[in-house]
């Protein structure tokens, strides 16, 4: 099953002519390609799959999805590796 994880765009930038962003997922921030969602801006929520933002979603829906994934223990990939 492919899962899209909701995250909040905290910064946008261009890297090698590709629109990128820093996206926060419950305390963990990752680099994400924003090319498929050109309308995404800082403070927007996006649905991310394998490093690509696929769509914008509202904050309420993002919270619901994140909570459900947490209940299903599907957020392990977002955790920072322990030292």
The parent domain of residue 52 ranges over 5-78
Q: Which own/partner pairs from 58-67 qualify as long-range (CB within 8 Å, at least 24 positions apart)? A: 61/6, 62/6, 62/7, 62/8, 63/6, 65/4, 65/5, 65/6, 66/5, 66/6, 66/25, 66/26
Whether 17 is covered by a domain: the verdict is yes
Tens digit of pLDDT at every position of the chain (83 positions): 567 889 999 999 999 999 999 999 878 899 999 999 999 999 999 999 999 999 999 999 888 887 887 787 766 656 655 55
Can you name the residues that pair with 25 across neighbouring β-strands?
Answer: 28
> Looking at residue 47, what is its pLDDT?
93
Whether 83 is covered by a domain: the verdict is no
Whether 53 is covered by a domain: the verdict is yes
| Domains: count for the chain | 1
pTM above 0.85, yes or no: no
Whether 68 is covered by a domain: the verdict is yes
Whether 23 is covered by a domain: the verdict is yes
Question: In whole angstroms, how large is the CA radius of gyration of the chain?
Answer: 12
């Amino acid at each position: 099953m492919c899962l899209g994880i909701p995250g909040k765009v905290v910064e946008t930038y261009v890297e090698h002519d590709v629109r990128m962003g820093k996206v926060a997922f419950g305390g963990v921030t990752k680099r994400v390609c924003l090319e498929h969602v050109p309308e995404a801006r800082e403070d927007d929520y996006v649905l991310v799959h394998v490093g690509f933002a696929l769509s914008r979603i509202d904050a309420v829906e993002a919270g619901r999805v994140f909570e459900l994934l947490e209940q299903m223990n599907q957020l392990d990939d977002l955790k920072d590796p322990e030292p």
